[in-house]
Each structure stands twice: as structure tokens, then as C-alpha cells.
Structure 1
């Protein structure tokens, strides 16, 4: 059984994001980049399934310029077997990412497709659902538990009323949530071994894909800074401020 895991290169979640002066995008100069945390959870789940004898091969795929090979190698150090980089000079939309992954799936014929539920930079939570639609295969989003029984996947997700468990045939698309697992740290020998694992590079022309321009980035703005609070001397003063200044009552 083969697992295809998608990973995305994003700003490390510990780094404070800076916006360019012209508000055209986020400033990435001299910024630490990492695997998207939800994608890292997907890699960890694939590795755990491999350790349990369910999966035989883990293929890690990422879309971007040569710099995204760093995140592919990091995923290989965690337990992936081989990597695929799809060269892309610009940031593709969620639909384009799904189209690219669908094309890769046609080549790989993986039994299980694991993605993070969303990326911490765009926060779309769309790619997994679009990918399942393009492949016409079952999907389970925001997984908090995954179990494979024969040719069936049992996926548990948290809902307002508790836990919902669904069963679906493979191949299937599963997007991972925070409660699914806690990713491991890669040991130094694993990092060195990852440098020797195969990593293929493909371009959009080879895949027969042309990026769309359906989504355009208009501007990026930093969140407004919170204003300092103030103390009031009485309840009456508090009510007055809430009514006349905050206008919430």
C-alpha cells in the first residue's frame, strides 16, 4: 500500500510575519521557513501507518521553486521514502494545487492521500476537498484518528456534538487536524540518510497543467494593533463607556 503526502513550505509558525511596505505581499527575506504544521502531522501519520505495517511506501510531494526541496528532505528525514518536487515559480491557487496533486496521483496510484487540513499562510482549507472531487474518490476532513482495515479507512473527526467516525473505501483523501498526532523530531542520522533518498523534479509542462489566474492577491495588511485599556472608577462609568464609546449596549 502506498501513501502520497503533500507538504507545503510556509513561514515557521514561531516567526512574526512582516508585511512589505507596499502591502503587495508578506516579506520573506531572511525568514525561517518550515513544513506547514498540518502537513507535518500528515507526514507523521503516514510514518506511523508504515511502522504498523499498513503502508509500504511514502511519497512526499511539494509544489514550488527549488527551495521547497528543503521541506521535502525534512519530510524524508521523518520517514518518507522518496520525494517529488513540482516546479512552480508562482504561488498556485488551491484549485491549481489540487489539479497538480490529482495529476501526480494518476502517476503514482497511491492508496491513501494525506494532506494537512489547511496551510497556516493562506488558511483556505480547500485543497483536500477539491482534490477528492477531481479524483472522484471519498474524502474525510479534519481527521483526529485514522485506522486502516483492509481496503477501508476509518476516520474519526471532532464535531460539535462529540466524535463522528466514517468508513470509506480506498483510495481516499484524508486531511489531518491537530489532535491526530504529535510529529516527531528527526534524528541526525535520519537527516543524513534523507539526503540520499530519491527526489524527482517535474515541471508543469510535463504534467500538462497551465496555472489559472482565478484568484489574485490584491493587498496584504497587518492586523490592527490593540489599543491599551483603561480603568474605571465605578460601574456607572463602565456602563457609560460601553454605551457611548464602545457602543456595544
Structure 2
């Protein structure tokens, strides 16, 4: 999904206060006439009888991400002249993964770098999941204090660049503020930088791409971690 289309989709979500309102938007007067029950009409929509709809979990997750992105965008201009505030500052980081995040935080916040992070591990239900995360995008839309404080695990989700649950076989992909997801290329999965139009290649048997470095990180907290750091050249 192109970012412009994704942005319009997110904006349409923010106008709904609740998941019920989102379902109601797909219920027609004809549905209510024949079914005689708004609850039944909502249930039919939720079950997919009126076309593809988001689950409650997907709705809440994407709405929250959209609201956070709107807040970040609206404050971007006013914050431009201010020093970059680092969530990792002053934290005692004993884990090498958190140290790697901290080392890249300032560059990703300031726009000097856009890092894509691949993580494979198990979620809170014990299901194996994996995904590619736009770190700079997450920094703009999430509070990272809980991550650097060790209160919350940094894991891929359905709103990230790519996500796959190996148990349920749920798969999602979303272009982000910094990258476009490219499928169907002979080289496999690719990410195209929206800043300089260069390609980031995640195939371990190929080079990662121009101005991009690949770092495999051994971690006690995750099964598999890879950092792809794309440096943005300034003229």
C-alpha cells in the first residue's frame, strides 16, 4: 500500500471514536430494514459479510498509530530547532540489543539515518513472530522510555513494514514514513527509501544496498536480530 493511500486510510480511522462506530460506517439503511437489529448488522460486518474489515485489535492498533503520527507531524516544525531528546539518555543499558538501539537513536531521530530492524522471537502467547521495523518511524510515533527502561519488549507488530505470525500465518505489510515495501522483485523483498529513492535489500546472500550496512546482532533476548542502517547523504 503506497504511503499516500495508507495516510488517507489512517485519517479515515481517526474520525471513529470507537470500533462500533467503524462497523456502523459500513452498515446501510437497507441492512437495518431487513435485519431489524443494529447489533446483528454490526456482527455481519465484523464477520466480513460486507467486505474486508479490520479486526478490533487491528483497528485499535492502527488508530493509535495514526493518532501518534498526526501528533508527531503537527509538532515536527516547532521541534525542528530544539535539541534532540533521547529516550535512552541516562539509562543503564546492560542488554546489547538496547545498547544497539541507543547507539542509533540520535541518528534516526535527527534524520541522518533510517534503520530497518529485523526481529524474530516469540510473543506473549508463545507464538513465533518475525518482522521488519522502521526504527525512525517508531521513534516518531511511540514513547521509547518503557523500552529503554526494560519495562516493555521491542517487538514487530501488524502496523510495521512487514509482520508474520508463524503460528496463525497472519501476514501484513505497510509502507512507512521512510520506506516503501516492494514485493515481486526477482531479488526478493526490498525496501525503497522515500528520502533518496535507494533500495535496501534484506536478502542475506546479497549486498544490503548503497549507503546501507547490515549488522547481525547476537542477543540473549531475541532469537534473531539484524540491523540495516541506511545513511542519508546531505549535500
Using the size of structure 1 for normalisation, the TM-score is 0.22
Using the size of structure 2 for normalisation, the TM-score is 0.23
Structure (1 or 2) with the greater helix fraction: 2
Q: Which has the higher contact order (CA 8 A, sep 6+)?
A: 1
Structure with larger Rg: 1
